[in-house]
Amino acid sequence: MKRKALSIFLASAMSLSLLAGCGGAADTASTTTDNTADNTAEAPAQDAATEAAPTADVASEGEHELSVYAWDKNFNIPALEAAEKAYQTVDPDFKLNIVEQSASSDVENAITLAASSGDYSQLPDIVLFQDHYIQNYVTNYPDAWLDLEDAGINWSDFGAEKLSYSTVGGKHYGAPVDNGTSIFAYRTDVLEECGYTIDDVTGITWDEWLEIGRVVKEKTGKYLVSMDHNGDDLPYMMMQAEGQSQWKDGEPNFVNNDTLKQVLNVIITGAKDGVIYLCNDWSEYTDTSIIGDQVAGVFNGNWIIPTMQQVSENSGKWAITTAPTLSGKEGYAANGGSSLYVTSNCSKPELAKAFLAYTFGGGEGAMATYDDALRNGGVITCCISASKSSVYQEGVDFFNGQSIYADIVAMGANVPVVEQNDFHYSARTQIQAAITNVINGSDLDTELQNAEDQVRFEMGL
């Protein structure tokens, strides 16, 4: 589908998505993928440390007061402040006591400590929690949470992929906050220099994309995309865009996974041909390849946009679209995101649920909440109806007037649900090593067998 068709699709996707139910939520697959550099989440180690998180002012004694743990004063905190302000229009005495944490791991540690001591009174009323970790924590510590089934949230106003993380045992536990939908952004001036337009990289196969990348590299010296190979999310996003997983029935599925082999061959070929820049670490990825202006394309969660915008001289030269796929259909993926969860220590569960439903849950205050959160924190909603506001429909100068925020929400409603696993980090590490070894001359089948064997060993299979 070329750009014109994409625009028509995006314009209609939001209204079409409202017709979809909350089906597709994964009841059995435990979800854990990486957000190491995501400004919405800082990924902890596989097992949370047991250091105490900040617990000052946890109590919310007032009748109209709630407490919440959250991290990132420039991103998540402004979103919560926006929700507080919105809810005060119906409850002028409402106060949200935000206890800032240094990282998402602080929240995870607080849950672990409370559960291990059997004393949930240490917890606030609400916690912000990474989407990719919550199923493990709800499963391991079921007494720590209250479900939101009766909160009055319009679940059909969210994409199935987003809800799949916060749905456990058929029950909704989280109110979605930020949108982790991946964008594929391109420098349109570089494409034009090489004889291409944004249409030419929309709805194409990866083989076609590689050919365009070779031309771009030859004529401009720029890579068509880069990735932090030390925390390589590229295989995961490419697989999700295919609607496929690296897992099957709770076990690693590398060796007999033809889709994975094809995806990895694209990455390996692209790296060898100078089309894909596999950076050594996050700093090289952001500072050298993106801010350093070595790439003509960026593929990652939309939280990467502020990094791109640091290069002010490139304003007006970027556009976003969907990802290529093996078949040439437009690909949708996600990488990152978080939701809000009510703890069992909440003494005012009805207030907590009403607050979440009215603001982040698509209620009457959703547009005000998300408009404010976008303006002041760069938080993009995954609430489909809220994205219809004039703020979301505004063109963004950095992206040549494209209404990227409305587009991102519409794209997010179409990200497929794929099987996840708590050993995602192990799989990512082993697949990353396999890619490196094949680039250096090893055989892909051999490396995938080694990778699968290692992950199975770590899982105790």
- pLDDT, one tens digit per residue, over 401-413 is 999 999 999 999 9
Tell whether the model's pLDDT for residue 340 goes beyond 60: yes
Helix (H) or strand (E) holding 278: strand 276-279
Mean pLDDT of the chain: 88
- CATH code for the part of the protein at 182-333+423-459: 3.40.190.10
Which is nearest to 319 in space by CA: 208, 214, 191? 191
Q: Answer yes or no: are the C-beta atoms of 255 and 446 closer than 8 Å.
A: no
pLDDT in tens, 262-307: 999 999 999 999 999 999 999 999 999 999 999 999 999 998 998 9
Q: What's the token pair of residue 76?
A: 């998540």
Considering only CA atoms, which of 13, 360, 8 is closest in space to residue 154?
Answer: 360
CB atoms within 10 A of CB 292: 13
Mean pLDDT on 300-315: 93
- Decide if pLDDT at 2 tops 70: no
All residues at 6 or more sequence positions from 249 whose CB lies less than 8 Å from its CB, including other chains: none
Predicted pLDDT of residue 424: 86
**What is the rounded distance in angstroms from the CA atom of residue 398 to the CA atom of residue 378?**
14
> pLDDT by residue (tens digit) across 31-73?
333 333 333 333 333 343 344 444 445 656 689 999 999 999 9
372-398: average pLDDT: 93
The alpha helices in 323-403, defined as continuous H runs, are 349-358, 366-377, 390-393
Q: Can you point out the beta strands (E) in 31-133?
A: 65-71, 95-101, 126-130
Could you give the C-alpha distances from 189 to 113, 196, 228, 318, in angstroms and in order?
52, 9, 24, 8
- Range(s) within the chain of domains with CATH label 3.40.190.10: 29-180+336-412, 182-333+423-459
Percent of the chain with pLDDT over 70: 87
Phi, psi of 393 (to 5 degrees): -80, -10
R_g of the chain, CA atoms, integer Å = 22
3-state secondary structure 163-194: HHHHEECCEECEEECECCEEEEEEEHHHHHHC
Q: What is the mean pLDDT of residues 382-388?
A: 90
Instruction: Calculate mean pLDDT across residues 221-242.
Output: 96
Specify whether the CB–CB gap between 42 and 103 falls below 8 A. yes
Instruction: List the one residue out of 390, 24, 366 whose CA is nearest residue 175.
Output: 366
For 29-180+336-412, CATH number out of 3.40.718.10, 3.40.50.300, 3.40.190.10, 3.40.225.10 equals 3.40.190.10
Q: Quick one: pLDDT at residue 20?
A: 30
- 392/403 Cα distance (integer angstroms): 7
The per-residue pLDDT for range 74-130, each reduced to its tens digit, is 899 999 999 999 999 999 999 999 999 998 899 999 999 999 999 999 899 999 998
Phi-psi sector, 205: left (phi>0), alpha (psi -120 to 50), beta: beta
Crossing angle (nearest 10°) for helices 258-272 and 424-439: 50
3-state secondary structure of 346: coil
In angstroms, the CA 369 to CA 255 distance is: 46
CA distances from 241 to 237, 299, 412 (A): 6, 12, 11
